[in-house]
Structure 1
Amino acid sequence: NVSEGTVLDGEVSSITSFGVFVNVGPMDGLVHMSELSWKRNIKPKEMFKKGDPVKVKVIGIDREKNRLSLSIKQTQDDPWLSAADRWKANDRATGIVTNVTDFGAFIEVEPGIEGLIHIGDLSWTRIKHPRDVLRKGQEVEVVVLDVDMEKKRMSLGYKQLNDPWSDVATRYSKDQDIEVKVVRLADFGAFVEIEEGVEGLIHISQLSTRRVEKPGDVLEEGQEVTARVIEINPAERRMRLSISALEEPAQQQQQQRRPRDDDRRRGRTERQDHDRQPKNVGNDGEASVTIGEFLKNFQQD
C-alpha cells in the first residue's frame, strides 16, 4: 500500500557496485547510485554498511515485476534550492575535480553543487586539453564567476587566481627592449609571448622600416626576436610592440655618417685635382716666370 512519493524507513540489506538494496518490510527496493546522495562520484561501500537504517522515498513502482525504485537523496533538500545564499560571484572555494572533458573540468564545491571551469578559464596560455592542467580527483582552489540558479549552473575560474596582467606594469615599461617569442601570425601582424600568460601584438606596420606584404615574410612561429614596448594597457590586457623602432636609430646613424663620408671623399678629390694641376701656371693659363729666372735668362742672352 505505497505510492510514488511515499517516504519509508528501511534498512540496508545489501550493497553492490551500482547501488544499495533497502528492505522496507515485505520486499527490498533498489537505491541506484545516482539516488544515493547529492554528492558526485561516491562509492556505496564507503557510505553504507549492511544493517544501516535509512530513510527512502519511493520514486518508481513496477507491480508486474514486483520492484521498487527508491531514493535516499530525495529525502534531503536539494542543495541548489539554497545555493544563492551561499555562493556569489568572486567567492573563492576549494573543490574536487569530478570530471574532465574536452571543453573543461567539473568541480564539486560542496555536496550536490558542481561548477564548470571552461577550458578558456583554466590557463592564461593556450592548452590542447583540460587534462594538461587538471586531473580527476584533484583538489583545487577556484573562484566563482557566475551562478545561474534557474539552470543550476555555476561558472568557475582557475586561471583568475593568478593573473599575470594584474602587475604587468611593474615589470615592463614603454620604450623597454625585451626578448619575445612569436606564437601566432595573422594578416595584420604577429602575436608574441612576453611571458607565460602575457601576449602582445607587433602590428604589420611595426615589423620593419621596409614595406612588409605579410608577416610571414619576416617572421615565423617559434622565432625569438627583440622588440620595443610602445604601449601597455593592463585594463584591456593589451601590449603593443615594435621591431621597426629598433631599426630606426641604426638608419639615422647611417644617414649621419653618410654626409661626413661624402665630405671626406670630396676633400680627397680636390686634393688629387690640385696635385695634378701644372705648376707655374697663372690664373689666365699663361706660364708664370719668377724675377730671378727672368734676370738669369736676360744675362745669358
Structure 2
Amino acid sequence: MRALEKGEPVSGRVEVANRGGLILRIFNGRFRAFLPLSQMTSSRTLDVKRSRKKNAPKSAQVGKVIEVKVTDVNDKKIVVSERALVQERGVKRLKPGVRASAQVVSLSDFGAFVELSQDDPQAPRLEGLIHISELSWSRVAHPRDILRVGDEVDVKVLDVAPAEGRRPARVTFSLKQLQADPLLETLDTIMPVAMPEPSVDEDELLDTPLPGLMDICSNLLTEEGIDAVIPGRQAVEQRVVSQDLELWLTNVVVEDGYNLLARAGRQVQEIHVVTKLSRDSIKMAIKRATSALK
C-alpha cells in the first residue's frame, strides 16, 4: 500500500476501456485504478482513439500491462498516470546532446510535440517539444508545413528540466541541429567532392548569371567600407533550393572580408566581399543592397 501513499510505480492490467480512459487492476487485482486519456503517453492515446474510430468491439488495450504512478487516492477511486512516470524516469536518464528517434504526436502553432521510441535505451516514450525555431534553419510559418502527425524523425536533446513543484518535467528537442547549418556552407560542403560531368542543360545554367545577383553586387560596391565584390565559383545543385535568389552570409573565416553564398533555383555561387566592416555592418549593407531591387 506504500505505493498508494507515496506515488511509487505500480503495474496494472487493463480491464476496461471507456470514453474517459482505461480501468486497470493493480496490486494483483485487489484494486481498480483509473488511467485518464490525458495521463497516457501520446502514442497510447492515439491508439485508443484509432480503436474508437474503427468501432472495434473490444479495445486493443484490454489485457495489456502498463506501468503507472498513483497520483490521487480518495474514498471513491484511485487515479494513476503513465505520462508522469515516463517523464520522471526519462529526465533522470536523458542527457542534452543525445541523438534519438522519435515520432511526431501533435502539432501546435509554436512547435511539434514528439515522443521517443518505445525502444529508446534511455527514455522510452518520453515526450518533448521541438520549438518552431528548432524545426529548420529556414523560416517555418507553421510546423504543419514540414511535419505531419505520425512522421518518424531523428532529434537532438537540447534541454532536460526535472519536475519542480507543480511544474511537470520538460524536455526540448531540435530537428535542425542534426542538419547542416546553411551559414556554414560553401561550395565544398553542399556539392559532392567528385562532380559528375554536367549535362547540356547544366552547362547552360553555369553560363547564366543568377537573376539579380550582378545588381546586388553593384549595390554592395556603393556601400561605404566595401572595397571589392568578387563573384567566385559557380555550380549546379541536384535539387531546387529556392526559386527566388537567396543570399547567405557564411560563417567561414576569411582574412580580408566575408564570403556570401548566392542560390537561386539549382544555381549556386560564392561571392567574396573585401571589407573591414564588422559582421553586423556587412549584414546591414547586404540588407540595403537586396532591398534596393524590390
Structure 2 length-normalised TM: 0.49
Q: Which has the larger radius of gyration?
A: 1
Ranked by relative contact order (alpha carbons within 8 Å, sequence separation 6 or more), the top structure is 2
Structure 1 length-normalised TM: 0.48
